[in-house]
Amino acid sequence: MAEVFDVTLNKSDTPLGLADFRDAFSQYDAVLPTVTDRLSAAAFDLAKPRTRILANYGVGFSHIDTARAVQHDMIVTNTPDVLSECTADLAMTLLLMVARRAGEGERELRARQWLGWRPTHMIGTKVSGATLGIVGFGRIGQAMAARAHFGFGMKILVQNRSAVAPETLARCNATQVTALDDLLPQCDFVSLHCPGGVANRHLINGRRLGLMRPDAFLINTARGEVVDEYALAQALWFKTIGGAGLDVYEREPLISPELIGADNLVLLPHLGSATAETREAMGFRVIANLEDFFNGHAPRDRVA
C-alpha cells in the first residue's frame, strides 16, 4: 500500500477511539477500519470530512454506521470472497470440536486428569450423516455446506432471506426452509452465516433456542450480536441444547463469565479469517478497492 499511497499506519495495533476517527476523517482521503473499530453515528459527528472512502478490512461491516457515512458522501467497501473458505473451515472446526468434545478432552488432559481409555469416557455426538441447518446462504454459508456435504455426508437445510437458486442448492443437495422457526427443530447442528447489524440482532434468542433439539449444537462464526448471549448461557447451563461453538461475541473482547464456565461450549477468539493466506488476500482486496476508487472507477466491493 505504501508503494501506491501516502500511508499512515496505526502501528500500535489497538483500535482508534471516536475522537481519533473524527480526526482521521478530517485529514485522510481514505480510512481503513477493521471489525474492532466501532464507527457509530458519533464517529461521523464532524462538519466537513475529507474522507471519501472507508475501505473496510473484513467482509462484515455492521460496526460501521453506513447511513451516516453515506450522508457524508463516503463510500464503504468490504473484502468478500477471499475469506469464505477459511471462515467455513473454522465453522467446521467449531462444529467438530463441540460435537466430539475436543475442547473438554484437551482441558482434561492438560489438567493431568485423564485416567485412560474406557468405553464410556467423554462420549460425543456423531457428525457424519447428521443434519446441518445453515442460516444465511451467502458465500460463507455455501462454503460451509460444501464441507459438510462432501466431507461428512451431512444433510443440508438452508434458511435465507431470499430464495436461493435451485442450482446453488443442488450443488450440496440442500433444501431451503422458508422460516427459521421451521428449520431449527429439524437440525442436529445449526451454523450461523448471516450478516450482523440491527436487522439480525438476537435472531437467535431464548424462544428460538427453545425450538432447537435438546441435543443439537449452535455454531456462530457470523457476528456476536446475532445470538442473545444471556439466553445462550441459560440454554447451555440448563442443557436445553447440546452445546455451542462460538468465534464471535456480543461485546468483544469481553466474554461473560457464564459462557467461560460452560463446559459444553467451545470458544475461539474471532479467528474465522485468521490465516496468513486470507489476511494477505484481504489486504490486497482493500488495495484493489482503493485503486478502483482513486482511478475513477466504481470500487468492486462497494456496500454503501
Site string for ligand DGY, 227-246 (x = CB under 6 A): --------------------
266 and 94 Cβ atoms separated by less than 8 Å: yes
- Considering only 31, 35, 69, 135, the residue that binds ligand DGY (CB under 6 A) is 35
**Is 207 among the residues known to form the active site?**
no
Q: Which of 63, 223, 229, 250 is catalytic?
A: 223
Query: Residue 162 CB, nearest distance to ligand DGY (Å)?
Result: 21
Query: Residue 83 CB, nearest distance to ligand DGY (Å)?
Result: 5
**Is 202 among the residues known to form the active site?**
no
By the rule CB under 6 A, 66 interacts with ligand DGY: no
- The DSSP output letter for 151 is I
For residue 70, give the H/E element and its range.
helix 66-71
How many of the other CB atoms lie within 10 Å of CB of 52? 15
By the rule CB under 6 A, 272 interacts with ligand DGY: yes
Nearest to 252 by CA among 175, 196, 171: 196
By the rule CB under 6 A, 266 interacts with ligand DGY: no
Nearer to ligand DGY, 154 or 192 (CB): 192
Instruction: Tell me which stretch binds ligand DGY (CB under 6 A): 54-62, 117-125, 138-146, 235-243.
Output: 54-62
Q: What distance in Å separates the CA atoms of residue 280 and residue 303, rounded to the nearest whole number? A: 21
By the rule CB under 6 A, 286 interacts with ligand DGY: no
Beta sheet of 131-135, edge-to-edge order? 175-176, 155-159, 131-135, 189-192, 217-220, 243-246, 265-267
The single residue listed with the C-alpha cell 474471532 is 270
By the rule CB under 6 A, 140 interacts with ligand DGY: no
Identity of residue 258: E
Binding residues for ligand DGY, how many (CB under 6 A)? 7
Query: Residue 16 CB, nearest distance to ligand DGY (Å)?
Result: 17
The single residue listed with the C-alpha cell 444433510 is 155
By the rule CB under 6 A, 224 interacts with ligand DGY: no
Query: Residue 279 CB, nearest distance to ligand DGY (Å)?
Result: 8
Query: Residue 13 CB, nearest distance to ligand DGY (Å)?
Result: 15
- The DSSP output letter for 302 is B
How many of the other CB atoms lie within 10 Å of CB of 135? 28
94 and 247 Cβ atoms separated by less than 8 Å: yes
**Is 277 among the residues known to form the active site?**
no
By the rule CB under 6 A, 80 interacts with ligand DGY: no
Q: Which of 108, 252, 258, 291 is catalytic?
A: 252
Nearer to ligand DGY, 141 or 272 (CB): 272
Q: What distance in Å separates the CA atoms of residue 113 and residue 107, rounded to the nearest whole number? A: 9
Q: What share of the chain is helix, strand, coil (3-state, %, to 5)?
A: 40, 15, 50
Map the footprint of ligand DGY across residues 81-110, applying CB under 6 A: 83
Residues designated as active site: 223, 252, 270
State the residues that interact with ligand DGY by CB under 6 A. Answer: 35, 58-60, 83, 272-273
